[in-house]
Structure 1
């Protein structure tokens, strides 16, 4: 393969053809990197391919511009979101963005380590075109960065009688195969690929860690606030049949293809809506008990078993893993009710959201510091623990002696007064000056904390060790990201009353 550079443009070869990206900064100077945006790794999932497994993109002639983000599976205006994730119209939604400090082909074993990032969004929203996901800081520190798009919602994960299940998962796998086959042309080492993601993206990389077919494609995993779906086959089929019935069609590829993309999204939103009237506690109780309707389905084949079960069975045990969550992922939903809830006993309200008996007493005892902040704080912490932090602890324990590092992001945003969902992402990417970071992290987010979080991530991608002690169930060691950060024994002590021994 060859690579040429002309002015601010740079070209590289892929297995499907040549692509033309752009330098950010003067080539050869400190901090300069090149961006190749919207490279298709699969044919557009439209027409006959809409509900099919992804098909590798056919070759093209000449150099294809990779100067703008490709189309996203997310459609329309997503509204106000914690992370700016714009929608880009178009059909070719299966694409990758490559950010590299050294866009030149490398020999086997000589390339830079690679970070592949999977965006979040509950498996139904999100976009790889966020300015927060730019790989510039990782490039500066010697890491090639790739962000991937995949089919969302029903198109990606919905059950259809005669269509392959887990189409979004198949998209992840084909994107990883593209990285394996092409990243050396961008200066990366295909044998040193760390996959990372946040929220649903964090759940995605955990699912891939427990997936036999993904093992040859990954070397390490970094899960940020991972949310596992683990949708049962029965639940997936029931939802698919309900959606088809609501649309007045048969639950087949032919039937559902008669519905426009807009109509499927409309039906999907209606069927997955939270409790009418908007009671946040009722809605979250429903989510905790029932889980997500759309996401990776346990099909017994591609996804052989639930995430924790797969990891307990030893799948991916040779892969280093970092995982953790923020302390108060979704506490913000109770902010508007703080004044009213201060008069409601925390014990009573925890009972209303499902925590009762001895477990409730043990949980309150283990979280006295949070309880002192008020009823909204402790109930928000419980919801965070049930949705995110218990999963992190269960996976760390299920890994046994496998190389695992646990962390907590505890720095409280001055805008929210707590360590909320997504606040850690700009620290991971070291992009504190990016668009809308101030809206979640305040006008002066601490650079020292970004140095710590991002530095640990770089060390992990480069060397398979983030720089603090491995997790063992006996010690419970966890990195606590705060100002200052520290390494704590039994860092998830407040979560243990919710996790069976």
Structure 2
């Protein structure tokens, strides 16, 4: 059979493992649930991923594959993220306008890594459908990876950062196969939002990943900084709670459901638990635990695969040749304190910040920079700035200091939840017609804004230039996505008091 064929109206493509059959849609084709790795079960559950073996005949790629997500974070994310049962959870989904007649040069490629706090999320979201990018000449791939403890938990005799190894193998699959789907393996942009944004920033700072992509778009991405020591402490705690040794043999003896239960006890995600699994009596204590512990089940600076935290890696020049867009929404997690104004505004903001562990000098500077905000609004903004906006500013200024090509945006348009976490995703993907969008963006989300941010993304993926000036440490130009969109100077200046002072 030729590399590209069509049977009964279904396009067929030959991959390194065998032939896959997709489905034609309006102007493009979708190939769903293509396994890039063997199912991570049995002896492979806590091992490095193994490339999927070959198959005979034609494999249908007509439905999304099984997802590593077993439990959603519906109370945190507003992105529709289906969980799909099954064992073969390491898959790619390819959307292409040119599956049977690839161009000589190949089309630019977008590879999307989903978010979900590294413990949830799904590549099968309707918001990650590549139809709009296909319409505009971009081959699009979404990937899955092991989540939570299976993907990122410390185990005494298992490789660390197993979920990161999944990303690498998926990108190697793209390198080796995307030309057969009409894409150019030399023009791969990796992108993601939230934990997915953190994922692509992690890859940007990893020496081993450099040959696998040419540019990066990070939406609301938290930089990686978790230490191996903290990861080990969490892994030992989970194993102790489960009554097993912190080894592959011990943890493999626990059913998946039990590991997920224990994972919920040791993870601070959502601010509703502490590391020992007890619920805090004071919700502010939960926020403090969330801010201070961070995403405890995620990429870890292990000194090997990830030799440095994201900020230090970029400062050292790793990834400096790659073009980068990064930014956040204006309000991100301010919604964590929605409705708390009446009860909190009677308390001085400085006292609340002190109560969640903020240093006095930082409190003084931050409160001065946000004069006029009520306590609940100020603390909500602090959460947003501490987790997202200040780290984004830090990375932008690190990159600017070494002349690494970087563009910065802020998504400022908001609906009933403000410019909250996740709201920018349906605009970037140009999927405002999806039935789930009004829950986050209201019934009248502006299509012109989607045209703007999606168009900038397409331009960047295709040319490496999004259409506004690169960030520097003089003008600090930031594109503010709003109605209308504008360019503003020092657009993250109000978060500067939270940026760490770097010496040398």
Short-chain TM bin: over 0.9
| Corresponding residue number in structure 2 for 1:74 | 69
CA drift of 1:425 comes to: 0.5
Specify the alignment match of 2:465 in structure 1. Answer: 465
- 1:161 Cα shift? 1.1
Once the 2 structures are TM-superposed, how far is the Cα of residue 244 of structure 1 from its aligned partner?
1.2
Q: Is the 8 A contact 2:224 2:301 kept in 1?
A: no
SS of 1:377's equivalent?
A: helix
In 2, Cα distance between the equivalents of 1:291 and 1:2? 46
79, 90, 95: which one aligns with 2:86: 90
Superposed displacement of residue 107, structure 1: 6.3
Q: CA shift at 1:175, angstroms?
A: 0.1
Q: Distance in 2 between matches of 1:270 and 1:170?
A: 25
Partner of 2:294: 291
Name the residue aligned to 1:167.
162
Residue in structure 1 matched with residue 6 of structure 2 by the alignment = 5
Alpha-carbon separation, structure 2, partners of 1:442 and 1:14: 42
Aligned-pair CA distance for 1:4: 1.9
Partner of 2:21: 20
Could you tell me which residue of structure 1 aligns to residue 229 of structure 2? 234
8 A Cα contact 2:47 2:158, kept in partner: yes
Corresponding residue for residue 61 of structure 1: 56
Distance 1:349 1:127 in 2: 36
Q: Which residue of 1 aligns with 2:387?
A: 387
Give CA-to-partner distance per residue, 1:130-161, whole Å, 9 cap, x none.
00010111111110000000000010011111
Question: Please, what is the CA RMSD of the aligned residues?
Answer: 1.5
Given the alignment of the two structures, is residue 424 of structure 1 paired with residue 428 of structure 2, yes or no?
no
Change in CA separation of 1:318 and 1:409 when aligned onto 2, cut-off 3 Å: same
Which residue of 2 is the match for residue 264 of structure 1?
Answer: 259
Q: In structure 1, how many angstroms separate the alpha carbons of the residues matched to 2:289 and 2:445?
A: 35
Give CA deviations for 1:375-432 in whole Å, capped at 9, x if unaligned: 222211111010011111111111121000111111122x22x211001110110100
C-alpha contact (below 8 Å) 1:280/1:333 kept by paired residues: no
Which ranges of 4 or more aligned residues in structure 1 deviate by more than 6 Å? none
Q: In structure 2, how many angstroms separate the alpha carbons of the residues matched to 1:377 and 1:410?
A: 16
Displacement of 1:292:
2.1
| TM-score for both structures, normalised by structure 1 | 0.95
**CA–CA distance in structure 2, aligned partners of residues 199 and 113 of structure 1:** 23
Selected match of 2:243 from 235, 242, 248: 248
For structure 1, the 5+ residue unaligned runs are: 26-31
User: Which deviates more, 33-42 or 76-85?
Assistant: 76-85
Tell me if 1:329 matches 2:332. Answer: yes
Preserved contact between residue 229 and residue 294 of structure 1 (Cα < 8 Å):
no
* CA-CA distance at 1:277 after TM superposition: 4.5
Note the 1:292-441 alignment, pairs <5 A. 292-368=295-371, 371-372=372-373, 374-399=374-399, 400=401, 401-413=403-415, 415-416=416-417, 418-441=418-441
- Give the 3-state SS of the residue equivalent to 2:56 in structure 1: coil
- Structure 1 123/379 Cα, relative in aligned 2: closer, same or farther at 3 Å? same
Alignment of 1:106-145 (within 5 A): 106=102, 110-145=105-140
Structure 2 residue corresponding to 1:34, chosen from 12, 26, 29:
29
2:413 touches 2:419 (CA, 8 Å); kept in 1? yes
* Change beyond 3 A, Cα 1:355–1:250: closer
Residues 135-192 of structure 1: per-residue CA shift (max 9 Å, x gap): 1111111100000000000100111111111110000000000000000011100000
Quote the residue 1:447 is aligned against: 447
2:22–2:29 Cα contact (<8 Å) kept: yes
Q: 1 CA distance for matches of 2:247 and 2:450? A: 48
Distance 1:292 1:172 in 2: 18
Partner of 2:276: none
Contact 2:97-2:134 within 8 A present in 1 as well: yes
SS in 2 for 1:99: strand
In 1, Cα distance between equivalents of 2:328 and 2:340: 24
Q: Secondary structure at the match of 1:336?
A: coil
Partner of residue 176, structure 2:
181
| Alpha-carbon distance in structure 2 between the residues aligned to 1:22 and 1:222 | 28
TM-score of the superposition, structure 2-length normalised? 0.94
Runs of 5+ consecutive residues of structure 2 not aligned to the other structure: 274-278
Q: Deviations over 1:465-496 (max 9, x none)?
A: 11111111222111111111101111111111
Question: Does the 8 Å CA contact 1:105/1:184 hold for their aligned counterparts?
Answer: no
Note if contact 2:11-2:100 (Cα within 8 Å) is conserved in structure 1.
no
Q: Is the 8 A contact 1:78 1:87 kept in 2?
A: no
Match status 1:205 vs 2:200: yes
1:98-126: CA deviation from partner (whole Å, max 9, x where unpaired): 00111136466x10000000000111111
In structure 2, relative to structure 1, the CA distance for the partners of 1:357 and 1:252 (3 Å cut) is closer
Q: What is the CA–CA distance in structure 2 between the aligned matches of 1:58 and 1:133, rounded to whole Å? A: 27
Of the candidates 40, 47, 72, which is equivalent to residue 45 of structure 1?
Answer: 40
**Take 2:155 and 2:348, find their aligned partners in 1: how far apart are those partners?**
46
Structure 1 residues 34-81: Cα deviation after superposition (integer angstroms, max 9, x where no partner): 110000000000011111100000000111010000000011565454
Per-residue Cα deviation, 1:283-322 (whole angstroms, up to 9, x for no partner): 2211222222211111111000111000100000000000
Determine the structure 2 residue equivalent to 1:104.
100
* Distance apart, 1:337 and its partner CA: 1.0
- Structure 1, 337-346 or 435-444: larger mean CA deviation: 337-346
* C-alpha displacement of 1:435: 2.9
Q: Separation in 2 of the partners of 1:46 and 1:453?
A: 40
- Which whole-Å CA distance do the structure 1 matches of 2:282 and 2:339 have between them? 12
